[in-house]
Structure 1
């Protein structure tokens, strides 16, 4: 009986804390002021071309023909499904971060004498083979790996207590990301 009451109290406390946990850090300082938000001009989307100002040469037929000819390759590339890139999966950001963490671990583990830096590089190769065998996604993952590797390469020349602490944090982060992606998006 006591165990059931304690479990119910714990569940109630957990549910009450979820509402406060969902609050963002900026919401702690009060609601947005409508006058500040209304002062900001809306920004155009990056993929929507800006309207051009009318010019005198737009009325000339030669200028219209040049513009039409210049726009034709872009329209053909957009219509060609072979050149179109598939939308990224919902876990793209986490995989990019994991690539960066693997690069950092590859450098830091060798620096601090663990000697398994090549194992982390092999894990990155397996990730690339599984997720992005070719194309721009692969290039983004490789760039993230190199950013993680070279970021610590420039910072640490010898193993320091801070380098060991960073290694521990990155090991925990890599485990957390891999568990999260597997749990949320893995096959049952």
Structure 2
């Protein structure tokens, strides 16, 4: 019996891989050799610069484009260095924005004046677009800071309004006395 087992094992060992290969050949067919296509040889080609590649009918005359120069917008003016009182002026604009919200909220008689005062400040000090944008941004920052907090007039809103009036008055007085007015 042992001999039969050895013969069967030897037979399976010799037949095993062949039958497995036959199985794949029956499913997928005999193995194919990959076809090698000849690689194209690289041949450098001369390409003219982009200006010369245009067809003659598409080329434009060599006249200078004066129309485009006239239509182009001028470069924005160079921003001068900030004034020495720039920081105080931005703080004043922020205070004016806060007061523009707080004063009308608490029914102050000067409630409607803060927007026109800010417009006067923009007209006087907004000499460049960048500076005008910074001043308006400071005003909006002050306005929005309290717009998120206060919907009605409270004691805290009145107190903040009073403090801002004093601080704004001090800033305006210092700026005008130190830097001319």
Q: Could you state the TM-score of these two structures normalised by the residue count of structure 1? A: 0.54
Match of 1:143 in 2: 137
Q: Which runs of 5+ in 1 are unaligned?
A: 1-80
Q: Is the 8 A contact 1:112 1:158 kept in 2?
A: yes
Match of 1:180 in 2: 174
Find runs of 4+ consecutive structure 1 residues off by over 4 angstroms. Answer: none
Matched, 1:168 2:171: no
For 2:78, what is the secondary structure of its paired residue? coil
For 1:117, what is the secondary structure of its paired residue? coil
Q: Is the 8 A contact 1:106 1:116 kept in 2?
A: no
Q: Is the 8 A contact 1:104 1:152 kept in 2?
A: yes
How far has the Cα of 1:151 moved from its partner? 0.7
Larger proportion of helix = 1
How far has the Cα of 1:114 moved from its partner? 1.1
For 1:137, what is the secondary structure of its paired residue? helix
Q: Is the 8 A contact 1:94 1:177 kept in 2?
A: yes
Computed over aligned residues only, the root mean square deviation of the Cα atoms, in angstroms, reads 1.8
Change (3 A) 1:82 1:140: closer
Q: Is the 8 A contact 1:96 1:141 kept in 2?
A: yes
Q: Is the 8 A contact 2:79 2:128 kept in 1?
A: no
How far has the Cα of 1:85 moved from its partner? 1.2
How far has the Cα of 1:82 moved from its partner? 6.1
C-alpha distance in 1, partners of 2:155/2:89?
Answer: 28
Q: Is the 8 A contact 1:104 1:148 kept in 2?
A: yes
How far has the Cα of 1:134 moved from its partner? 4.1
Q: Could you state the TM-score of these two structures normalised by the residue count of structure 2? A: 0.56
Matched, 1:88 2:82: yes
Q: How many residues are aligned here?
A: 108
